[in-house]
Amino acid sequence: PFAFIHLNAITVMKGAVGIVAVVFVGLALANGQSFPPPFTRIISFGDSGKDVSIYQYLVNRDAALVGAQIAVDGQFGAASEAATRTLQKAHKLTVTGSVTAETASYVMSHLTRDNYRDNGTAPGDLGFLYKVHIKAYTNRSIESTGHLIAANGTVLFDFPARLHGWNTCDCPKPWPNFDNTNDGLTSFASNGNTPTGLILFDLNTPEPDPKTYGPYPVNRAVQGLEGNAGFLIPNYRDGILLHTGSWPNWTAPSPMPNSEGCIHTWPEFCDKIADTLINIGVVARPNTGGKLPYPYKSQGLLSIELID
């Protein structure tokens, strides 16, 4: 049998034929089972970190914990251990009280949907000048349609949108990445799919890299309000933009490339969105490059819900 020893980003595999070093990106192994992103380790009593907070946030959704939800504080203490045992018993997992690869896989397979739904309220009724509303597919290789909505609730126009982050392998690909063969990396991992939920949105001047982001003003996801985005943005996911790019060998209406968690649209629509917003009174704020805290009052909303 082979033994796997995790040493930072290097896993050393010992076997009868010697020792082979294998590099794992974003994955760790325990008892032969891989951890699903964003998890990379067994989480046990006394551990802390962002991965603990993500686990606590998700495990609270399980029906077995109704009325017994735990604090989302990034500290894996007695309450988290007890909740984990409850989850494991309820779903016939190996009961350890620790977040094993088996437990993490169950959580990521069953508890990541936020069931967020846009309620149709006109953005003006909430004090905003505009809203972008997108219904996304679970398989983010399927592109979506975005709707630019005025303050009074009128749909100004529709535009193509791609909300696919890195591939499910949680590994970078050469830019631009046109891989259209997987659902995309979970939104709970850095560079994963664009999170669902309701989000403060604001128009910014163009990014300094027109090759990657296009030469037009961009819209920035500032602060999550509801759904998974309410938990993730900006503390766990930041720098999510609605933008385009100068993608070599791409022509509309071909599928757009994947992003690092942003929303891609065609260049002509990125330009049209910015021009339309400016014409209805939205100001293109000086681009902060993602600096936190965001220094401006957001002028719009972004609403993303799953269609399937």
pLDDT class of 31 with cuts at 50, 70, 90? low
Q: What is the mean pLDDT of the chain?
A: 91
* Long-range CB pairs of 82-86, under 8 A, 24+ apart, other chains included: 83/59, 84/59
164-199 pLDDT, tens digit per residue, is 999 998 888 889 999 999 999 999 999 999 999 999
User: Is the pLDDT assigned to residue 228 strictly greater than 70?
Assistant: yes
Q: Which residues contact 166 (CB under 8 A, 6 or more apart)?
A: 172, 173, 177, 184, 185, 189, 191, 192, 258, 260, 261
**Residue of 223, 225, 251, 252 lying closest to 235 (CA atoms):** 223
Note the pLDDT of residue 32: 59
User: Is the pLDDT assigned to residue 18 strictly greater than 90?
Assistant: no
Instruction: Report the side by side order of strands in the sheet with 3-7.
Output: 3-7, 10-15, 18-23
In this structure, what token pair is assigned to residue 300? 């719009």
Least confident of 80-89, 112-121, 164-173, 272-281: 164-173
Mean pLDDT across the stretch 119-131?
Answer: 98
3-state SS track over 156-216? EEEEEEECCCCCCCCCCCCCCCCCCCCCCCCCCCCCCCCCCEEEEEEEECCCCCHHHHCCC
User: Is the pLDDT assigned to residue 24 strictly greater than 80?
Assistant: no
Note the pLDDT of residue 106: 98
Strands (E), the chain: 3-7, 10-15, 18-23, 29-30, 33-34, 130-136, 144-150, 155-161, 197-204, 218-226, 241-243, 263-264, 300-306
152-161 pLDDT, tens digit per residue, is 999 999 999 9
In this structure, what token pair is assigned to residue 215? 């030469």
Note the pLDDT of residue 8: 35
User: Is the pLDDT assigned to residue 28 strictly greater than 90?
Assistant: no
Note the pLDDT of residue 22: 35
User: Is the pLDDT assigned to residue 221 strictly greater than 60?
Assistant: yes
Note the pLDDT of residue 173: 86
Percent of the chain with pLDDT over 90: 86
* SS3 category, 89: helix
pLDDT class of 5 with cuts at 50, 70, 90? very low
Note the pLDDT of residue 137: 97
Note the pLDDT of residue 33: 75
pLDDT class of 20 with cuts at 50, 70, 90? very low
37-66 pLDDT, tens digit per residue, is 999 999 999 999 999 999 999 999 999 999
75-105 pLDDT, tens digit per residue, is 999 999 999 999 999 999 999 999 999 999 9
User: Is the pLDDT assigned to residue 25 strictly greater than 50?
Assistant: no
Mean pLDDT across the stretch 197-221?
Answer: 97
**What radius of gyration do the chain's Cα atoms show?**
21
Cα within 13 Å of Cα(288), Cβ side: 17
Place of tokens 């997108």: 134
User: Is the pLDDT assigned to residue 235 strictly greater than 60?
Assistant: yes
Least confident of 25-39, 108-122, 261-275: 25-39
State the pairing for strand pair 10-15/18-23. antiparallel
